[in-house]
Every structure is written in structure tokens, then in C-alpha cells.
Structure 1
Amino acid sequence: MGSPPTAEPIPLPNWIPGNQTLAERLGLGLSSDWNWSGTLFQSWESLLLILATFWCVLLSRVVTQKLRLQGSPDLCYAVEFVLVILPCILLVTVAVDYLHFIGLVMVVVTMWFLRRSRFLERARTRSQFDLGGNRPMVLSVVRSLTHLITAICILAIDFGSFYRPFRKSRQFGAKLMDTGIGLFVFSMAVVSRRTRHLSDLRRSVVYSALPLILLGLGRTVSIVTLGYGQDPHEYGQHLNAFFTLGLTKALGALVSILARKDLYLLPLGIGISLIHQFGLSVLGLSEYVLDEDVERSNLFNSNREGLISLPGFVAIYLINIYVNRWLVANSLLSYSELVRKLRVLFRVAAVLWILFVISAYCIGISRVTCNLGYVIWIMAIATTFLWATLGAIDLVINSVMPWEASRLEEQEKGLLTGETAAREREKSIAPFTINQALNRNGLTFFLVANVLTGGVNMLLKPEDRSDFESVVILLVYMFLATKLVHEMLKRGIRIA
């Protein structure tokens, strides 16, 4: 649950004459201010934190394989917890001042590893690259890191040690916690398919969207009953992230019927985002949403943030269903085909970041309205992450340190008997144990994290805790949440 963040508007840039925003000078009809250079720096810090956590995931893969922990899910979990979750907690709290230094260390170590491993020579000798079928590792890593970072932040934000510039923006900005809902929509889209028939629509609404909406309703009722605070400027007075995800899923499933082919999802999503931006800029919807003087006199006014932003999130949803279908269209690739995919992703990411800079300058980046700038920003982060994951895992690490080859070597040396190997294959616990657990029961993990967050806020008064106490509480909190889904993975239990 988590207490509402203290969102801070970006100060008015000094270089704008007459105290006007750039949007007002261009006649876009917006009334809110933003500092585009500040937005760029916020986005850089957010991306660096995400990439640092991702780098820790890669490090955990290398370490667990070097230590030959493939047959021990509990030891794999312990190593991953220390190498991934602990650094992420430190980097959003007490160690944030070292983020850029750590980024430099990451670059140096990565370049050393690439040069020493001679990965290109090994990659060229591989007959094929198996991306993992309909659920490739590249997508599952993105989804799991979204869950991990979001879960850490929703509790860490209540402690004084949390890095304030990572908090959500009130109106315009590109902070770390602004990425949460956008990347959750991305995560939801990459495991979805376009609606082809009414039966598909019914299944999407009943089995996917409705549970999320019911969870949102339950959260609202709980907040009202317990008298727990909620910032109405985030999703509205009654709506929350679960409502946004559920309604996005339902509307996205409905709209995707219009696409006769997966390819049509891309222009459909882009078109919806452009129309949405036209409404925000020209028709004054952005000013209506962000104007604090608009009274919350009825249900729509009270929840205008969550309702007006829905078209933007639907656009993200549709575009990323297409991204998923493009990525898994052929899961068995030759070296040249993999390199071609990497080049496409790199070029698309470069174009998106250029568009992000332009958007930050012209219309701002607003999570609250999910404007065109926000859609571009989320797509830029997601595409960059896909490119980095595909290159780092499938091209580099799997060429230098193939997981299956390591397991075969252990079996040949007698470390894994045939019966043990068969049992381990059946359990399907391969590299990135926590990643697998979160992908199998991501919603369960997030619900548990929300319940634990509420408990910590009511019982432990996080605002009064020291830096050391906050780190300890966050470690215990993440251990309880991740260990639960990890045990479910070991036992083959899947809820949601």
C-alpha cells in the first residue's frame, strides 16, 4: 500500500521570458511548468539505477554458475538476494551518492569481461540462439526487475533515507517511481496477445482485467476503512494502480479487435497516443487534469487523473503486444539473425531517446496524464532494456558460459546423477531463480509486498527510523516477499 509520496513540481525555468511555459508560447494550452533539462537528468538517474540493478542480475548469473549452484535453488536464491536485492535497496537509500561511480565501475568491468571472454568468436561458432519460445528470457528479466524495483520503492519511499529525487512527479517529470505504472503496463502487454474473437475478449476481461479491478476496489475499500492516506493527484480520489492496469487490459483487449494482424497494433497504438496528446494539448484536457482548483465534485472530476490517462496506457499496451510478437516470431535464430535484431532494437532505442528529448522540451513528460512524452519515455526505457538484455544474456553470457553445457559437464563428472538431472529439469529452475519466481507469481508477490508495506507503515512508523534501521527493515521485507514466491516456484505452485 505505502503512504502517498510527496510529489514536487519542477521549478519554472529561468530562461523562459514573461514567466510562460514553452507550451504556452507554442499555443498548446497547457498551464503547468516543467524544466526540460531537469527532466533529462531525472531520466538519466532513473535509467542508471535500472541498468545497475540489471547488471547485478548478470553478475549473479555468472557467480552462481562459477560456484556450480545449478542444482541448489536455495543457494541460487541466497546469492541472487545478496547480489541483486541488497544493492538495489542500498542504491535507492543510503548509497545513492555512489550511483554514478558504480555506473563507471560497471562500464569498466563490462569492457574487461567482453575483451577477456572473446564472446564474438564463441558466438559466431554457435549453430543457433534459442530465445526461449513464447516466454523468452529477455522479456522475463524486464518483468521481474519491474516487480523488484517497484516493490522496493513502495516501502522505501516512507523512510527518510529514500532518495527524494526518485519520488513520483506531481505534474511533469521523469523520475524513477514515474516508470512504475508504465513498465507494469509494458510487462502486462508482453505476455498478452491481440484479441481476435469475442471469446478472446471475454477471457481477457474475466480472467485478467476483472481480478485487477477487484483488487483495486479492495484496496480502495481498505484505505477508506483504515483511514489510510492516498494522494488524489496520482490516480484520483478513488482509483489506484490496480484499476489502471485492469481498465488498460480491458480497453486494450477491446481496441485490439480492430487490428486484423499483429503488425497493425503498432500504428493503432501510435494513433491512439497522438489523438490522446491532441486532446491533452489542444482540447485542454491536460489543464483540466492538472488544475488543482478543479473541485472533485463528482465521480469523474474526483478521478480525472486515472480516467484521462487511460488512452495513453492503452497505447503502451498495444505497441508492446506488437513488440512481443515481433520478438518471438522466430525464437531460434542464427548469429546473423540475432545481430540483425540487436541492430533494429538499438536503432529504435536511439530514435526514441531523441524523441524523448524533443518531447521533454516541447510538451513535457507527464505520468499523471500519460501524455505522448511519457509513452515515448517508457518505450525508450523498455527498448533499451530489451536491447541490453538480448545482447548481454543471449549473445554474450550464453555464448561464453552456456548454462546447459555447465549442467551437462556436472552430470558427466558425476555431480548430477541422471535421476537428479531429470528431477531438476522437471522443476525447471535454471538461472535467475528469483526472476522465474516473480514471473510465475508476479501478482501474488506484488500483493504480498503491498500488505507488508501497509503493515510496516502501521506498526513500525518508518518515518522515525534511522538509515540503518530502514535498510534492515527493507531487507526483511524483501526477503519475506521474494522467499514466498521462491518457495512456490520450488513446489510448482502458480496462483497469479
Structure 2
Amino acid sequence: MESRAKSFNPTKHLKEEFVSNLRGSSMLEIAALSTVVPVVVLLRHSLGSRSPSDLGHKDALSKRNRESLVSPKSWRAYMATLTLDYLCIIVPILLSFTVLSEWTYWWTILLTFSLVLCAAIKRFYSSLLSRVAPNSLRTDISLYRVCMMIVTCLCILAVDFRIFPRRYAKTETFGTGLMDLGVGSFVLANALVSRQARNISSVNLMTALRNTGPLIALGFGRLVSTAGVDYQGLNLYLISSERGSSIISQNKEGIFSIFGYWGMYLVGVQLGNYLFFGNRTSATERGKEWARRRVWIIALLFWLFTIILDRHVERVSRRMCNLAYVTLVLAQNFQVLAILMLSDYVGGSKSSILEDAFNRNLLGSFLLANVLTGVVNLFFETLFASPLTSLAILLLYGYVLSVITGALEFYSIRLKFW
């Protein structure tokens, strides 16, 4: 009976096998890939021209100047710059996750060396850094969130194309692929800039729990982490493929992982308030250098905690959202943020047109990426596409996503209606 069911839809069966029994990649490779993305963005800033955010956004311009921005000539110039951003940001990131995946470490070293070289040349031959004000913390945080969204949009199709290495895809039980970090990164990115982080003295339930919540939730993560000794039944229940008919059994991973994500969110709120908004003094008064040093320290500490937990307590598990997974998400995201906060030493533009476009419509770009993913799956048998065809489709997908998102920014359209 099972073989007959499979024969009715062989493609579905192949896709199920394609995403099954995956064990993830190493933490060193995840750290390398997490370096590639911010380095590519900073390279574009170093080599790029000034963006609208550096010259004053068009919303702040006079009506006459704003009307001139939508002229055919201006539109062509905008699209030319957007295309250059696409070639300098989207294409290298996409290549890093696909055809260059076997040379991840060498690619990371090459990009990092190129960035250091560009920064050194700018410092030696020009006084640009002395004339350009440093990025604000708000700019750095926005840039970090944009990077997370770009990576998420590009990697949505990882479950469809064989050109993406299987070690980057979501894992079955323990271990971590790059795709496993998506949900956690989304939770953390929103926690760092949440209303609770910006105004921690507001009276609401989240504020009341801000001090005890992380301890309670991470305590549950510790409980899950020690499940092999005291709560083995819970561990076996969560990772088992058997499911009962009850709604809890059908959604067991989602239900039990709520505690881990809740703890992750509250930790993000606490860290966002401590690093960027402050309890009594503003982030500006605290200083960019103060925040930069602490972000680097926090990133290194969370990487250390993750390695210890993964090796000596319990392996990272997205399905359970255990303590090791929470610390890995925190480590990876703060690493990206820490590298982006070095932008003041690199020089160049503060942002690119592509980044401004995604920043205006973060959620809108994500929804658009899902629609485009559906279109790709509707017209192509993605599992059977050759590497060259797959790469061509992914590059076209990335360009269409960039153009539509850029057009929304150009005409000041924001896809948010609530």
C-alpha cells in the first residue's frame, strides 16, 4: 500500500527523501559563512558610491526634487546602481552558498583580506574617514536585520535545488545546518529592536518578566539538555518520528520549543536594551565604541558556551530549541552584528540602495520571496535541474526580488498596512 502511494506522486516522495536524514555542517563552517555575508556588504560600502541615505533620503527632499527623482533618467540611474548592488552583494552571497561551498574557508579568507586591504588603502591615500561621520547604532542594527533578511530570502530555495549542499539544509534531529538558524535569527533580530528593548520601563507583562523570563526559559533549555539523564523520555518523545492523533503529538516540536524561543526572545530584549538603548543613558551617550566592544565580547562568549554545551552536554537541536541551539543563534547573530559594526574603519558609503530597499520593506520582501519561490516551483522541476540551470534560476530569482523591492523603495511604497 505504501509503495502504491509513493507511485502516485513520485516527485513528492523524492522531495521528502531530499530533506530527510540530514546532519548539518560544522560550527566552524557556520562561523565562516556568517563572516562572508557582512564582509561582502562592507566591501560594497567600501567600493560603492554614495547612497540616498548618505545624501538625504528622498522623503526629506522638496516636492520638486522628489518629482525629479521619478523621471526616466533618474529611474535608469537608480536601476543601474541597484544592479551594481545586486552584482556586488546578492551574487557573491549566492555563490558562497552554492558553487563555492567546497571552498568556503578559502573564500572567507579571500574576502576578508580584500576588505582589510581596501580599508588600509582608503586610510593611507585619503582622508575620507575623517570627513564622514561614523554610522549610528541604529544604522548598524538596521544593516544587520537587512543582512539576515537577504540571506533568508536567498536560502528559501535550498529545499528545492540540489546545487545547495545538503549540509546547509535543516537537520533531522541533532546538528545544525545554516537553514536551522533562520527562525531563531528572525526571533532575535526582532527582540533586539522590540518596544520592550527600546523602552524597558513600560509596564506590561513582557517587562515584568524581563528579569526572570530568560532564567526560566533557559532553565527549561537546561532541563531539555539534561534529558539524557533525568528526562530521557522527553528527549525520545521529541525526536521520535512517531506521532499520535492528538494535536499535541502532531505539533510536539513546535509546542515544546516555544520555551526555548521565548527565552531567546527575552535574552534578546535584555541585550538590546543593555547594548543599544540603555536604562538611564542613551546609546549615543554610551558611545559607539562602548557598544562595539561589548558586542564582540558577547559574540565570543556565546560561541564558547555553544561549543561547551554541544560537546559536553547535548548537541544542538533546532527541533527542541535546547540551550545549545539558543546560544548558537545568539553567537552567530552577534558575530554578524559585530563585523558590521566595524564599518567605521572601512569607510565608503553608509549603506547601499539595495539595503535601503530591503530595510523599507523587510516583511514585504520576505513575503515577496515566498511568492517568487512558489512561482519557481510551479514552472520548474527543481530537483532535476542541472547545476548550471539551477544557478541561472537562482540568479534570476535574486534579481527579480531585488528589482521589485527596489521599485517599492523608489516610489516610497511600504507594504505594511497594520
| TM-score normalised by the chain length of structure 1 | 0.67
Asked if structure 2 preserves the Cα contact closer than 8 Å seen for 1:129 and 1:333, the reply is no
Deviation of residue 487 (structure 1)?
1.0
Question: How far, CA to CA, are the matches of 2:384 and 2:319 in structure 1?
Answer: 30
Change (3 A) 1:490 1:147: same
**Alignment counterpart, residue 467 of structure 1, candidates 369, 383, 387:** 387
C-alpha change, 1:130 and 1:144, in structure 2 (3 Å) is: closer
Change (3 A) 1:474 1:46: same
1:264-303 equivalences in 2 (<5 Å): 264-265=210-211, 268-279=213-224, 281=227, 282-283=230-231, 284-292=233-241, 294-303=242-251
Structure 1 moving runs of 4+ over 4 Å: 2-5, 66-72, 121-130
Contact kept in structure 2, 1:57 and 1:80, CA below 8 Å: no
In the TM superposition, residue 137 of structure 1 has moved relative to its aligned partner by 1.9
Asked if 1:55 is matched to 2:39, the reply is yes
Per-residue CA deviation, residues 295-328 of structure 1 (Å, 9 max, x unaligned), is 2311110011111111111111111122322333
Structure 1: how far apart are the matches of 2:389 and 2:327? 38
1:371 aligns with 2:322: yes
Distance 1:437 1:124 in 2: 25
Structure 1 residues 351 and 487: alpha-carbon distance in aligned structure 2, compared to 1, 3 A threshold:
same
SS at match of 1:346: helix
CA distance in 2, matches of 1:291, 1:67: 51
Q: How does 1:216-295 map to 2 (within 5 A)?
A: 254=205, 256-259=206-209, 264-265=210-211, 268-279=213-224, 281=227, 282-283=230-231, 284-292=233-241, 294-295=242-243
**Is residue 90 from structure 1 mapped to residue 100 from structure 2 by the alignment?**
no
For structure 2, the residue ranges without an aligned partner over 5 or more in a row are 1-11, 56-73
| TM alignment of 1:136-215, pairs within 5 A | 136-194=138-196
SS in 1 for 2:195: coil
2:82–2:353 contact (8 Å) kept in structure 1: yes
**Correspondence 1:381 to 2:365:** no
Give the letter for the 1:290 counterpart. I
Q: TM-score, normalized by length of structure 2?
A: 0.79
Give the unaligned 5+ runs of structure 1. 11-38, 202-253, 404-429
Deviation at 1:125, TM superposition (A): 6.3
Q: Residue in 2 aligned with 1:339?
A: 289
Aligned residue pair count: 369
| Structure 1 residue aligned with 2:266 | 318
Q: 3-state SS of the aligned residue for 1:59?
A: helix
Residues 9 and 86 of structure 1: CA distance in aligned 2, closer, same or farther (over 3 Å): closer
The alpha-carbon distance between structure 1 residues 369 and 477, as it changes in their structure 2 partners (threshold 3 A), is same
Q: Deviations over 1:209-260 (max 9, x none)?
A: xxxxxxxxxxxxxxxxxxxxxxxxxxxxxxxxxxxxxxxxxxxxx5x1424x
Q: Which moved more, 1:323-332 or 1:54-63?
A: 323-332
Please name the residue that 2:110 is paired with: 105
Of 320, 324, 341, the match for 1:390: 341
CA RMSD of aligned residues (A): 3.1
Question: How does 1:104-143 map onto structure 2 within 5 Å?
Answer: 104-118=109-123, 129=134, 131=136, 136-143=138-145
Contact 1:167 1:177 in 2 (8 A): yes
